[in-house]
Amino acid sequence: FGVMGAHYQPMGQSFVIGNMLQYGLNPQAAIDLPRYFPYAGKLELERSIPVSLRTALAAKGHDIVELNKPHGGGQAIFIDHANGVLIGGSDQRKDGCALGY
């Protein structure tokens, strides 16, 4: 799998694989979740993160920045050896597709 996003790239990759391994999500569900990124002393949040959570984070002292555009973009293909299939996901944030053979 891979994600785009310059300085966000390593964190984006961690989010996707973490969401799949920790929560048992398929590639599409793991990619679709809202994203955040701590950068330059601020906490950048995608607009899809609920206002109630943004407010709670700000109350704890985080300097919140609401992003005008989404963070990164990516595609992933999971090889399901047990069932002999490939399971792909593609990010709605950017153009792209997950192709496997």
Ordered domains of the chain (ranges, CATH): 1-35+71-101 (3.60.20.40), 37-69 (no CATH)
How confident is the model over 29-74, as pLDDT tens digits?
999 999 999 989 999 999 999 999 999 999 999 999 999 888 888 8
Statement: the pTM of the whole predicted model exceeds 0.95: no
CB neighbourhood size of 20 (10 A): 19
pLDDT higher than threshold 80 for residue 2: no
pLDDT higher than threshold 90 for residue 24: yes
Confidence at residue 69, expressed as pLDDT on a 0 to 100 scale: 84
Paired residues of 37 in beta bridges:
44
- The side-by-side arrangement of strands in the sheet containing 42-45 is 36-39, 42-45, 64-66
